[in-house]
Structure 1
Amino acid sequence: MANPPVMTVCLAGNAGKYKMGLPVGQLLLRGFMSGVYIAVGAALCTVCGTEVAKFLGAGFGKLIGGAVFPVGLIATVLTGMELFTGDAMLGPLAVMMGKTGVGSVIKNWVFVYIGNFIGSMAWAYLMVLGPFTQGNFTTAEPNAFALNAVTIAVAKTLPYKSMGDIGWWSCLANGIGCNFLVNLAILLGITAKEFIGKFFGIWFPIMAFVSIGFEHCVANMYFLPAGLMVYQSFPKIADKVASTAADGTVTYWSPLLHKFGGLTWGDVWLWNIIPATIGNIIGGMVFIGVVYFLCYRNEFPEEHRPGYQSGASVGK
């Protein structure tokens, strides 16, 4: 069972109205939980994708990561938590439909973003202390999963940095593509009326964005800090950081790490999270929110049209 497209957009507008009206405490708490859920998917992607490319090829390695990552968004949507990248579409859509104001959207974005970051960071810290570290009471060292975490963090920052301005805009473009697919997943989840439909409606677009290699700011709030924390805890790991290209070529990232003096928090924000966030806003708000509003605004039932007031006389 599924809702027709126009009703899906109307329901998305209602969801936006509800979410934009939540108090700050709820935005922070629900944002925290969604950040944890997305980080769980990202951690699963890191672990399950470790060394797969070496044996089965880079494309299959990306597919494995893409196949397991969607657990985060599925959990977020089905439990009603708050994800910044989803609200980047739902909030503006509700504004265009006359259901909420711009101030409410800005409030939502700020506090959900903070909650997402805290949740993602908490899970990153947990992974670095736990599954990414091996040894005994006297010694500790990073394992293969930790090495992959550093590889992902380096590959998502320093190549952009090495390209300069073009790299920054490239990351922004990857953010646009990402949130186009993320919000397509959210609309498909709203379209479906039953669990199995919601599950696969969300799973396919999310699998696509991860496999393609687009940039999701909240996922990167886990990927990048996790890799950075491992790198800072075990600096010698830099010489082992490498990734496998589509043609089987192995690229070692140590020259780039040495060139830029390692990986820093400045790199994490300037060369990924900030441009990815801007791209995510554009991808969700413009390419899904605005486009779908323009597609169906003339077909909305009267109660979902901008300017509608409950109880007003017809034709008045």
Structure 2
Amino acid sequence: MVFHAPATIIAKVGTAGKGKCALPAWNMLLRGFMAGAYIAMGAALATVCSTGVADYLGSGMAKFVLGAVFPVGLIIIVLTGAELFTGDAMFAPMAAFIHRISWGSVLRLWLWVYIGNLIGSIVFAYFVAYGPYTSWSATGTATVTAFGMTAVNIAAGKTSYIGLAATWSCFLKAICCNWLVNLAILLGICADDAVGKILGIWFPIMAFVASGFEHCVANMFFIPAGLFTAPYLSADQMAAIGAKLNNLSWVSMWTNNIIVVTIGNIIGGMIFVGVIYYYSFKKEIEGSN
């Protein structure tokens, strides 16, 4: 297993970021769509696999199971070359630092990839809401499954950040999330072989999900999946979820979560990984050029 030195990894990030910023808009959008769908695949798997675990093994193990299977999305993204906004929060600024590309190019990449991630996540959320999250009778009557209940609970919880203290908590969770996500990407770049990349990615992603941190692209799946499923809840199921279901809407998806999480994710990736690592290894990078 080949292991690259830290300065080499940072230089690779800058070079990759420059290439990403040079893509045409349609390609950014297409790769962003794929990445949004791949993150949604991992999130859907995590929703299904964690259902019912807390009842038998406790809430901590339920969180671990959630985190253990979620990384499949980022593994697919890294190995297939899709574009994830939260990763580009590090890649693009690093390219600006090392190769001195314009910040306009950085913002252009962020915009198109973000839109692509959003579309891909929502499309896959629709697929699973009418797939494993609901069961349909011959007459077309829907029943929300146990997996659908988990999905709605997750979505309702993610739109329950109401008030200054709760919003601050959401913001800090978002910083922590993308700090770990981009460390996962750095560890993936450390290795040249697929097994090394997978192992490097898995541990930090498992840690962020199991810890309950907030990822804007994952939430572009989690919240719409709950929104698509919620109309089919029975009265008993709505009572089981409780008052937090009142916070779940397409508006609160943005105001109570994604806007704040996006800002926190940018800071976590750009500042806590990109800026810190660039200045930590600046002399080594410049000396090798």
TM-score by length of 2: 0.96
Aligned-CA RMSD value: 1.2
Inter-partner Cα distance in structure 2 for 1:107 and 1:12: 18
Q: CA deviation at 1:302?
A: 4.3
Deviations 1:6-28 (A, max 9, x none): 10000011010011111100000
Question: Which residue of structure 1 lines up, in the alignment, with residue 29 of structure 2?
Answer: 28
Identify the residue that residue 310 of structure 1 maps to in structure 2: none
Which sections of structure 2, spanning at least 5 residues, go unmatched?
none
> Does residue 147 of structure 2 align to residue 145 of structure 1?
yes
Task: Note the residue ranges of structure 1 that are not aligned, 5 or more in a row.
Answer: 242-253, 305-316
Deviation at 1:255, TM superposition (A): 2.9
Q: 1:208–1:275: structure 2 CA closer, same or farther, 3 Å change rule?
A: same
Aligned length: 286
Q: 2 CA distance for matches of 1:187 and 1:231?
A: 38
Which residue of 2 is the match for residue 132 of structure 1? 133
Query: Which residue is equivalent to 1:168?
Result: 167
Equivalent residue of 2:143, what SS? strand
User: In structure 2, what is the equivalent of residue 12 of structure 1?
Assistant: 13
Distance 1:91 1:107 in 2: 10
Give the corresponding residue for 1:314.
none
Distance 1:166 1:262 in 2: 17
Q: Of residues 245, 249, 255 in structure 2, which corresponds to 1:270?
A: 255
Query: Which of 1 and 2 has greater Rg?
Result: 1
Change (3 A) 1:96 1:262: closer
The equivalences for 1:297-308 within 5 A come to: 297-302=282-287, 304=289
- Deviations 1:208-227, CA, capped at 9 Å, x for gaps: 00000000000000001101
Residue matched to 1:256: 244
Greater per-residue helix proportion: 2
Partner of 1:294: 279
Identity of aligned residues (%): 52
Q: AA paired with 1:4? A: A
Distance in 1 of aligned mates of 2:173 and 2:275:
19
1:217-256 counterparts in 2 under 5 A?
217-234=216-233, 236=235, 237-241=237-241, 254-256=242-244
- Mapped to 2, the partners of 1:140 and 1:256 lie a distance apart of 22
Match of 1:209 in 2: 208
- 1:255 partner amino acid: A
Structure 2 distance, partners of 1:175, 1:92, is 18
Q: For residue 182 of structure 1, what is the aligned residue in structure 2?
A: 181
Partner of 1:70: 71
SS of alignment partner, residue 141 of structure 1 = strand
